[in-house]
Structures are given as structure tokens and as C-alpha cells.
Amino acid sequence: VFNFCAGPAALPTAVLERAGLELADWHGKGLSIMEMSHRSADFVAVAEKAEQDLRDLMAIPDNYKVLFMQGGASSQFAMIPLNLANGSGKVDQIVTGQWSKKALAEGRRFADVRVIANTEDNHFTSAPTQSELALNADADYVHYCPNETIGGVAFDYIPATGDVPLVADLSSAILSDTLDVSRFGMIYAGAQKNIGPAGLCVVIIRDDLLGKAQAATPTMFDYKVCADHGSMYNTPPTYSWYLAGLVFEWLKEQGGVAAIAAANHRKASHLYQFIDGHDFYANPVAINNRSIMNVPFTLADSRLDKLFLQQSEAAGLLNLAGHRSVGGMRASIYNAVSEVAVVALTDFMTDFARRHG
């Protein structure tokens, strides 16, 4: 079967197989990695290698910390203002879909938020251009979501914010394409798309942003505490961290981010070209803002949606339903989804349109 789920998403088969082999007996130790102390030399080596592999893959500069946190990406919606709204207390947020909207609601609880661009009027089918961003020089940071998972809307540029740190929710796009990390103050990503199991959240943060959390910040939410303890202030999500490490190793074996990015662009253009070439299918997103990870599409007659989902599932193409808030279809084509899977999908779509169009 091929899994097009938006999250938790498909993991590379090779990673699952290796994790399966190692599950009860890690490297002949007679223990599962899940049963080992996070302070043991064996686990610390696994954890450090995972971090180094991520640093290599993303070319993360030395003046950035990599944190392995818990509570998914959603907890970051609160941690970000608690840690970073520490100067003027004013922050700028860009709203391009459901996730940046959730980040906005949470941001408003802890900071004085100005919405500097919002595409809700066009039903979140585009991203604002640089000149449409009403940036404020006194902002403590600018928050945005480069890839909106539900609407399939992606920025085709990194906003230039001058001296104001840029914070990006990269949950559904991390490791999918090459990226200049030095353009960001902070990047965070829930793991369950391109990294590993849900619950884990990877945070990449520039050194100088640490240590200025609001006084009421819970200890567990303070990035500096997390960084000072090597992400082990408490018991970290050891199994998720280990699995993330296996995914990073797999990604290196694939040739790294540049190679996977090339495959991702091929997958996405194949699918978009197919959709654009068939009147039976449509994608509403502005061409230059189309996500290479999440491809929503509708059928010419929405009464056929249920049948499409039943038949695609029977054909081994799983989890193609759009998000419950928008309906329609969505194919999430993260790193672990092969080009073969995308061709199988368009083959099915051709056949379905022929039978029902």
C-alpha cells in the first residue's frame, strides 16, 4: 500500500524494518533502546549522532542549538512568545492557513500580536509577497508557516525581516528542500511528517535568542533550560529521538536533502501537471504557492468524493481525504512517499476520471 497521510505520515520502509529488527534487542545488548537510561553512554551516543546527522543534512550553523522537545508543534505556539516576546512584547504574525491561525490564537495569549498579512479572504489559497508584509521594526520576532499542511500553500521565498528574528513552523516541510538556516532566528517542526513519531518536536534556535524567557515561563518550556541540559532536563522521548536518528541516517543514504528535494520536486510537478491537465480535477492554490509536500485537490463532482476514497483505498492508496475542515482530497507526498507511489496515484486518478467523468 501507499500512504498519503498528512500526519502522522509514512515513514521509510527501510527505517521501520530496521527498527523492527532492533526493537527487543538493540545492538546485542539484550534490551530495547526504549528500556535504556537516557543518561547511558549507548543512548547518549544515539542522541548525539541524531543531532549531528540533522546538522549535516541541514547545514545548521554552529551558533544554532538543536533541541529535541515534546508536546508536538502545537506546544511551540505558546513556547515561542513565552521565550521570545521579551523586548517590546510586540510580535508580528503572518496568517496563511489553519496552522498559522492556531499559532496566532496562542500568540495572543502571551504577546501583543500584530497580524501583518492574512490571506483568509482568498480562503488561504496564496501566500503574501514580500511587499505585502506590513513589517514592524519593533517586533520581537516575525512568525509564519512556510508550508500550510491543510491548504497546501507554501511561500516561494523566505521573508526578509531585517534585524527582527524570523520564526518558522516548518512541521510539514522540514528536510523536504534545501534551506538557508541562517535566515531564521528559529525553526521548529513537529516530527510526524518528515522526521519520525508524533509528539517529538525539533527546535533549531540561534544562540542569542536563548535566556530571555518571560518570568512565568514553565521550566520545561524554557529553551535555555532545554539547551543547557542537552534536551535532557527531564526524561526525553528516547524512542522517538532514536527513530528520528534512523530517518536522518536514511536521508543521508538517499543522498541528503538536495537529492530528496529533487525527487520531491519531480513528484509534485508530476501530480500538479496531472491535475492541471484534467478538467475532472482541480487545485485552488496560486501556482507559485503550491506546496511540494501537501497537494489538495477536488473532483468535478463532490458527490463522487466518497466513492473516490473507497476505491482508492481498495487500490492500496491510503489516506487521501482532505482535512475535515476543508473536505475534498489531499495527497501528502512527504520524503518517504516514493515516485512510484505518486505515479500509482495518477494512474488511479486517470482510471477514476475515465469511469466517472
Question: Which of 125, 126, 172, 332 lies at the binding interface for ligand PLP (CB under 6 A)?
Answer: 172
State the Cα–Cα distance between residues 56 and 45, nearest whole angstrom. 16
Would you say 234 is a known binding-site residue?
Answer: yes
Residues of this chain, 241-300, that bind ligand PLP according to CB under 6 A: none
* Residue 131 Cα distances to 120, 140, 153, 160, 322, angstroms: 18, 20, 18, 10, 31
99/280 with CB nearer ligand PLP: 99
* 267 part of the active site: no
Q: Is residue 70 classed exposed, middle or buried when 0-12, 13-18 and 19+ CB atoms within 10 A define those classes?
A: middle
* 169 part of the active site: yes
Residue among 203, 89, 100 at smallest CA distance from 143: 100
Buried b (16+ CB within 10 A) or exposed e, 204-221: bbbeebbebbbeebeeeb
Choosing from 53, 169, 177, 222, which is the catalytic residue? 169
* Residue 264 Cα distances to 2, 137, 344, angstroms: 16, 36, 16
Query: Three cell numbers at 11?
Result: 515513514
* 99 part of the active site: yes
State the Cα–Cα distance between residues 167 and 84, nearest whole angstrom. 10
73/342 with CB nearer ligand PLP: 73
73 interacts with ligand PLP by CB under 6 A:
yes
Binding mask 130-159 for ligand PLP (x = CB under 6 A): ---------------x---x----------
State the Cα–Cα distance between residues 190 and 188, nearest whole angstrom. 7
For strands 186-190 and 166-169, give the pairing: parallel
Residue among 96, 88, 89, 202 at smallest CA distance from 159: 96
Binding mask 186-225 for ligand PLP (x = CB under 6 A): ----x-------x---------------------------
Query: Three cell numbers at 278?
Result: 484534467
72 interacts with ligand PLP by CB under 6 A:
yes
Binding mask 89-128 for ligand PLP (x = CB under 6 A): ----------x-----------------------------
Question: Which of 4, 5, 7, 126 lies at the binding interface for ligand PLP (CB under 6 A)?
Answer: 7
Would you say 39 is a known binding-site residue?
Answer: yes
Q: How many residues bind ligand PLP (CB under 6 A)?
A: 12
83/149 with CB nearer ligand PLP: 149
**Binding site for L-glutamate: what residues are annotated?**
39
Catalytic residues: 99, 169, 193
Binding site for ligand PLP (CB under 6 A): 7, 72-74, 99, 145, 149, 169, 171-172, 190, 198
